[in-house]
């Protein structure tokens, strides 16, 4: 499976900040925003990733991310001339995907969950159909909303409904089989003039091939597309890292824990970050005893703590629990 990271758009809700820089390059506490969805794709075991951004912003992403070698992965880059909808990513990336299944992550989404890597790898391992992740929100009218039957079966997905049938929003992370580019090619623009990801998901739903994973209590999903949500995301990351001593959305750490790079390569990355706190933590990680950290008891314990005091404090600061 390959991955697409969509980091386009004009970021008008974050003006004037995004008049000078891409939204996805703005800092979320101690890392660029794009690092968080990138880490999510890497946790799914994906090592070939296409970065899609605007013609003016793409050089900045190349400068930040390079070839991907330092993360043990491979980046390709493509332009999105106009923001014509999320599903446009599969038209832009069709040739690069070359008929392979794909995961799509939005560049302004942060997901942090207990056993997230297990959920991601299960979604990536499905041979057919599509998988989306749903999260309970207070304002579902802002999102694509999925409703369920009493038995838990997904019934309908509606984009930004005026009267939502549920409060389950579809997050900015999607997994699709090899049919996705064909389906995207046949989409028609919505009344908004966009190729809607909801319309793409609806195709899979209507053919009985859509899997909806409901993120449970103890998970956090933030769409850092407004000043308030950007601040909430930064506060959440700072709280988790300070209280638990674990990193959030750090591709260097994920690369090491996934076995994409070794301890020497991690030390090199730590030195590149200089005397920052992040560089110090990565050095400690490289010097620690070997462990398969994604299944290591210390990591599991830290993840379980999301539903305890640190998570509760972050929620009081604006992060909505499931």
Query: Along the 322 residues of the chain, how does pLDDT read in single tens digits?
Result: 999 999 987 778 888 888 888 999 999 999 999 999 999 999 999 999 999 999 999 999 999 999 999 999 999 999 999 989 999 999 999 999 999 999 999 999 999 987 888 999 999 999 899 999 999 999 999 999 999 998 889 999 999 999 999 999 999 999 999 999 999 999 999 988 899 999 999 999 999 999 999 998 788 999 888 899 999 999 999 999 998 888 999 999 999 999 999 999 999 999 999 889 999 999 999 998 765 444 433 344 444 444 444 444 444 444 433 3
Tell me if 255 is assigned to some domain.
Answer: yes
Tell me how far apart the alpha carbons of residues 261 and 271 are, in angstroms, rounded to a whole number.
15
**Domain range enclosing 244:** 238-316
Contact 78, 51 (CB under 8 A): yes
Give Cβ neighbours of residue 168 (< 8 Å, ≥ 6 apart): 134, 135, 136, 137, 140, 145, 146, 147, 148, 214
For tokens 């690069």, the residue is 96
Alpha-carbon Rg for the chain in angstroms: 19
Q: Quick one: pLDDT at residue 167?
A: 95
Tell me if 7 is assigned to some domain.
Answer: no
Q: How much is the pTM?
A: 0.88
Q: Quick one: pLDDT at residue 244?
A: 84
Q: What angle separates helix 277-287 from helix 263-272, to the nearest 10 degrees?
A: 160
Tell me how far apart the alpha carbons of residues 42 and 163 are, in angstroms, rounded to a whole number.
36
Tell me if 24 is assigned to some domain.
Answer: no
Element (H, E) at 255: helix 251-257
- Residue 94, classified by CB atoms within 10 Å of its CB into exposed (0-12), middle (13-18) or buried (19+), is middle
Tell me if 294 is assigned to some domain.
Answer: yes
* CA 75 from centre of chain: 16
Pairing of strands 74-79, 48-53: parallel
Tell me if 258 is assigned to some domain.
Answer: yes
Tell me if 257 is assigned to some domain.
Answer: yes
Indicate the SS3 state at residue 157: strand
Tell me how far apart the alpha carbons of residues 61 and 40 are, in angstroms, rounded to a whole number.
17
CB neighbour burial string for 181-218, b if at least 16 within 10 angstroms, e if fewer? bebbeebeeeeeebbbbbbbbbbbbeeebbbbbebeeb
Give Cβ neighbours of residue 298 (< 8 Å, ≥ 6 apart): 291
- Of 176, 239, 272, 230, nearest to 27 (Cα)? 230
CB neighbour burial string for 23-39, b if at least 16 within 10 angstroms, e if fewer? bbbbebbbbbbbbbbbb
Query: Please, which residues bridge with residue 213 across strands?
Result: 133
Domain total in the chain: 1
Tell me if 52 is assigned to some domain.
Answer: no
Query: Please, which residues bridge with residue 130 across strands?
Result: 176, 210
Tell me if 254 is assigned to some domain.
Answer: yes
């Amino acid at each position: 499976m390959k991955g697409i990271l969509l980091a386009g758009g004009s970021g008008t809700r974050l003006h004037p900040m995004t008049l000078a820089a891409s939204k996805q390059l703005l800092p979320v506490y101690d890392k660029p925003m794009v690092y968080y969805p990138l880490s999510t794709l890497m946790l799914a075991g994906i090592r070939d990733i296409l970065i899609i951004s605007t013609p003016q912003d793409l050089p900045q992403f190349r400068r930040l991310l390079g070839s991907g070698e330092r993360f043990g992965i491979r980046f390709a880059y493509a332009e999105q001339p106009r923001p014509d909808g999320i599903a446009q990513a599969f038209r832009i990336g069709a040739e690069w995907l070359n008929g392979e299944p794909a995961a799509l992550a939005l560049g302004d989404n942060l997901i942090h969950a207990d056993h997230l890597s297990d959920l991601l790898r299960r979604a990536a391992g499905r041979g057919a159909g599509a998988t989306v992740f749903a999260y309970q929100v207070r304002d579902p009218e802002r999102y694509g909303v999925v409703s369920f039957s009493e038995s838990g079966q997904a019934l309908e997905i509606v984009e930004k409904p005026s009267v939502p049938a549920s409060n389950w929003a579809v997050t900015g992370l999607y997994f699709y089989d090899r049919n996705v580019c064909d389906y995207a090619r046949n989409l028609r623009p919505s009344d908004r003039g966009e190729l809607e990801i909801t319309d793409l998901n609806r195709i899979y739903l209507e053919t009985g091939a859509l899997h909806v994973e409901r993120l449970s209590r103890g998970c956090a999903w933030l769409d850092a597309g407004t000043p308030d949500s950007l601040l909430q995301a930064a506060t959440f990351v700072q709280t988790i890292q300070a209280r638990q001593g674990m990193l959030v959305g750090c591709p260097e750490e994920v690369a090491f824990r996934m076995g994409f790079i070794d301890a020497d390569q991690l030390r090199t990355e730590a030195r590149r970050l200089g005397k920052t706190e992040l560089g110090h933590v990565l050095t400690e990680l490289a010097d620690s005893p070997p462990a398969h950290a994604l299944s290591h008891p210390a990591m599991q314990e830290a993840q379980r703590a999301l539903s305890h005091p640190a998570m509760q404090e972050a929620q009081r600061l604006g992060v909505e629990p499931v």
